[in-house]
Amino acid sequence: MWFILSLACMLFWGAADLFYKKGTDESDRYSHLKTGIWVGLVMGAFAFVLMPFSETKFSVSSLITNAVRYSPASLCYIISMVIGYAGLRYLEVSIVSPVQNASGAFSAVAMFVYFSLKGQMGGFFEEFSALDIAGTVFIVLGVIFLGVVEQRLSSAERELKKEERKYRFGALALLFPVLYCVFDTIGTSADGIILDEKTGLGLGEIDVLILYGLTFFAAGIIAWVYLNIKNKTAVYNPFAKGERTKGVAALCEEGGQIFYVYAMASKPVLAAPMVASYCIVSAILARIFIKEKLKAAQYACVAVVVIGIVALGVSEGIAG
């Protein structure tokens, strides 16, 4: 089941990346905050809807306690996502997404090391087949090489388009996806540790969705207040016609989040790199809908990741 959940997450988050890019206004320096406001609204709404189904009956004290326990993951995610939204102002989505999502590979390694140090990976090779390991290696290599290819293509593109405003940051623009990668690695690793069914901290999947949603809702409110303080001429209305694409992106983000949480609770070490390969979906959708061109090297990396996903799917089918 973790494989199907990871695949669904990939599709939702790949679509989210596309709509994030379509909803980004390169001339608006607050565009990333506006996107964050929409994500906060959607995730907050889902959190309130899910509260009656919580595995833990939330009281004020338990809510605070669980929020503190989950804060390393949620805060890192919020920081990484806002950084990612900002980066879309200066880089194409087919460049941003692969560099960002090398975090899936790094977080898988981090979780493996953590569980090994805790003595909880003794049955690793009994639990995961050779196909699981081979598929994960293919995915990790494909995503990492795609990030390298994108970095090189981005450098060449900036040289050709120095006059364009969105390239004015030059190589500095790559700091956005790199910082996203760092914070997302920490957040994903923390999620894998917190959600693992055998060794986790006792927070259920629905509880995590609620806590993450409430945290992002609070962050969205703070961003909305800040935006209106800075822009004294008019109150920002996230429901205005021109902002609706951000809402579609936020819905896709929440859809992916739901599948992600359950996939990570099942097999975090395998799910993390597979989920991170949603950058492949992002690159393909960007090619189809916003005409971002892919080079032969990019297609080769996509093929490597697809081989890895197929291997994991075959392994899951055999195991089932």
Q: Please report how many Cα atoms fall inside a 13 Å half-sphere around the Cα of residue 38, on the Cβ side.
A: 27
Backbone φ and ψ for 36, nearest 5 degrees, come out as -60, -35
**pLDDT of res. 95:** 59
Q: Which of 168, 169, 16 is nearest to 93 (CA)?
A: 16
Q: Which of 266, 104, 267, 117 is nearest to 188 (CA)?
A: 104
Angle subtended by helix axes 268-276 and 130-160, to nearest 10? 30
**pLDDT of res. 288:** 85
What is the number of other CB atoms lying within 10 angstroms of the CB of residue 67? Answer: 17
- Mean pLDDT of each 10-residue bin along the chain, 320 residues long: 89 91 81 91 94 74 75 83 75 60 70 70 60 81 75 60 48 68 82 68 80 91 91 84 91 94 83 81 83 78 84 69
Domain ranges, ordered by start, for the chain: 2-24+71-319
Model-wide pTM > 0.75: yes
Buried/exposed 12-23: b ≥16 CB within 10 Å, e otherwise: bbbbbbbbbbbb
**pLDDT of res. 59:** 67
In whole angstroms, what is the distance from residue 220 CA to residue 247 CA? 13
The tokens describing 107, both together, are 């977080």
**pLDDT of res. 111:** 76
- The C-alpha R_g of the chain, in whole angstroms, comes to 19
Q: Please report how many Cα atoms fall inside a 13 Å half-sphere around the Cα of residue 79, on the Cβ side.
A: 17
What is the number of other CB atoms lying within 10 angstroms of the CB of residue 269? Answer: 22
The tokens describing 292, both together, are 């971002």
Burial environment of residue 53 by CB neighbours within 10 A (0 to 12, 13 to 18, 19 or more): exposed
The string of DSSP letters for the chain reads -HHHHHHHHHHHHHHHHHHHHHT--TT-TTHHHHHHHHHHHHHHHHHHHHGGG-SS---HHHHHHHHHHHHHHHHHHHHHHHHHHHHTTTS-HHHHHHHHTTHHHHHHHHHHHHHHHTT--TTHHHHS-HHHHHHHHHHHHHHHHHHHHHHHHHHHHHHHTTTSGGGTTGGGGGHHHHHHHHHHHHHHHHHHHHH-TTTS-S--HHHHHHHHHHHHHHHHHHHHHHHHHH--SS---TTSGGGHHHHHHHHHHHHHHHHHHHHHHH-HHHHHHHHHTHHHHHHHHHHHHS-----HHHHHHHHHHHHHHHHHHHHHHHH-
**pLDDT of res. 165:** 46
**pLDDT of res. 163:** 47
Residue with tokens 């297609």: 299
